[in-house]
Every structure is written in C-alpha cells, then in structure tokens.
Amino acid sequence: MGALFKFSGFVALVAITVMYKPELVLMLPNGFIPYAILGHPPPIFMKYDAWQKDEFESWTKDGDLVVAAGAKSGTNWLLYMAHLIRVKGDVDTYPFDDVNLVTPWPTLLHCCPLNL
C-alpha cells in the first residue's frame, strides 16, 4: 500500500509539473510526441507553414529538390548526400561546412521569436 501511495504521489507531481510547465516534456527523448499529445502546437522547429500550397509556391521553382525526412531519421545525412549529388562530389570547391548554410531548412527558424 505504501508503494502505491508513493507512485500516486509521483504521478500527481508529474501531472502538476506538466500542467504548469509543459515545455519540460520536450527535454525527454522524443518529447515532442507527448507534447503534441497534450494538445500543444509542435515545437518551433517543426512548423509546417512553409509547406502550405501558397507559401510553398512562393519559395520553390521548377527543378528544385526538396528533401523531406521524419524527425530523428538521419536528416543531416540525407541532406549531405543530396549536397554531394548537387555538387557532383566536389567538396573542395563546395564544402559542407554547416548544414543550415549549405542546405537551408525552410521550416527551421534560425532565430527564436521573443514570445517563447
């Protein structure tokens, strides 16, 4: 009975913490999933605004290559492979120094908004 009381106290503490500081859930491994399940918008780096039809047509043109990968699925590796294909393996002339400069992500905000 004592263990059940301790466990229920722990669950209540976690529930209260998540209720008042839901961003703490993002510190868990794959914490964006329970964060979304709790009804919160996706984290700032997972916004889908750039993929809306009107917005998408404003920043793409015919012949563009768009790399779309799921979270934690090797996106940087995939972008590096796409970069190598694009520059025909010439990494001396076109080095892959920073993934955000060589292959920018349209859905990634490079500067945090002030209202976080």
Question: Tens-of-pLDDT digits for all 116 residues of the chain?
Answer: 677 777 777 777 677 776 777 777 777 787 777 777 777 776 666 667 777 788 788 878 888 877 777 767 787 888 888 888 888 999 899 888 887 777 766 655 545 554 54
Burial class (CB in 10 A: 0-12, 13-18, 19+), 47: middle
The per-residue pLDDT for 90 is: 92
